[in-house]
Amino acid sequence: MNWNAARYDRWFETPEGRFAFAAERRLLEAMVAGWPRRGKTLLEVGCGTGLFLELLYHTGFDVTGVDRSEAMVAAARDRLGKRADIQVANGESLGFCDNEFDYVVLWSVLEFCDDPLGALREAAR
């Protein structure tokens, strides 16, 4: 699938996108509020351009991101630089060991998966 990373990011600059991002940011921050962070590893499956991965990094996690789109991964790498390990990977078949991460986040990604249940199983692994 060929996603246009610049178009994706530009949407978050529209009134609707700013509103959605603010709401999603509040929800994400509330979700992780009680999680220990320093020294804890977090994998975001379907990290896109790294918008939410960057937010998770700034809240204190050691972050890794994967996305199946090379364009999205390139944009995420540009956004985060050396602050994150970002790889091209399919969330339904990750190349990581069992229990390699303390946390796994699937944020707005299941609707893009061919096998959402498979992605959830893989994340739980």
CATH architecture for segment(s) 5-124: 3-Layer(aba) Sandwich (3.40)
pLDDT in tens, 62-82: 999 999 999 999 999 999 999
Structure tokens given for 6: 């610049």
What does the pLDDT read at residue 3? 64
**Among residues of the chain, what percentage have pLDDT more than 70?**
98
Q: Mean pLDDT in the chain?
A: 93
pLDDT band at 1 (very low <50, low <70, confident <90, very high): very low
What pLDDT digit, counting tens, does each position of 24-63 carry? 999 999 999 999 999 999 999 999 999 999 999 999 999 9
Rounded CA gap, 90 and 123, in Å? Answer: 11
Which residues lie closer than 8 Å to 112 by C-beta, 6 or more apart?
Answer: 1, 46
Residue 44 CA: distances (Å) to CA of 15, 16, 23, 75, 123: 26, 24, 19, 15, 9
The CA-based angle 69-32-117, given to 5 degrees, is: 50
Supply 3's token pair: 């996603």
- In degrees rounded to 5, what are phi and psi of residue 8? -60, -50
**Domain range annotation of the chain:** 5-124
> Given a cut of 50, is residue 109 above it in pLDDT?
yes
| pLDDT given at position 6 | 86
